Structure 1
Amino acid sequence: MNMMGSLVALLVALIWKPDFEEWRLGWDIKLFARIFSGIMISGMAFAVIVWCVDANGPVFVSMFRPVRLVVVVIVASLILQEPIYSGSIIGTVILVGGLYLVLWAKKKEMKSMSNPVETNRTDRNVV
């Protein structure tokens, strides 16, 4: 994932700024800050993902990925003063609603797996 992200970023950067003089990094605090933040963010993200998979299972990790889009809309509006369009609001509502439904269903599934007696009793009443 990091390799493909780097490749895409490189292609976009080559198209956006083809002058290699602007690409030059010196041995200064800017280079250290970029390397440090890249390593720390990747490391922290990996640690949080591993913890979440260990604690709750892989469904929760995959379901919270769309939340990044919601955060991007909010941060772009607050910090970058970008307008929020109706499509962003509708998409946010759909994403949060879908996330809620999946987590609700997963919680219900976990309850039924922990109480097999109630599941069997419920099945007999339905049939």
Structure 2
Amino acid sequence: METPKKLGTANLIFLLTFLVVIAKKVEEGAADGKLSRTEIMGIIWFALMNGGLGAVNKLSDAGQEALDLDEQEKEEINIHFKNEFDLSNEETEVLVENIFGLLLQIFSFYLKVRSMFGNKKAKEVQLKLEKLDLKKIA
């Protein structure tokens, strides 16, 4: 029996990193307790100029990768975030779990929208996602 091909983590790492960078920009902008229109437009502009459209395009692939993760790939993601954002092990785990949970919610919403328009593959993946214990994935 042939082993199924692993999907890897490239899209997942890209999308998770993108979400963290945007979250950091929002946090910086809201340091005074509020976000001005100028700050919001700056964040949107930053997102668009730094892979925002690519992130949207990678959502489906990243979601599939998330459903295909093994322990080695989870460790690869944790190491990436620890190095990229200079975090402790505990901070890295919390960050990755929170962002990963957000990604799975976005992916689930994406699948629901696609399945509403008759995409059978999206409906199948959505059902698979709903059956999973997300704590085991993250």
Tell me which protein shows more helix as a share of its residues.
1
Task: Calculate the TM-score normalised by the size of structure 1.
Answer: 0.29
Whose Rg is larger? 1
RCO (CA 8 Å, sep 6+): is it higher in 1 or 2?
Answer: 2
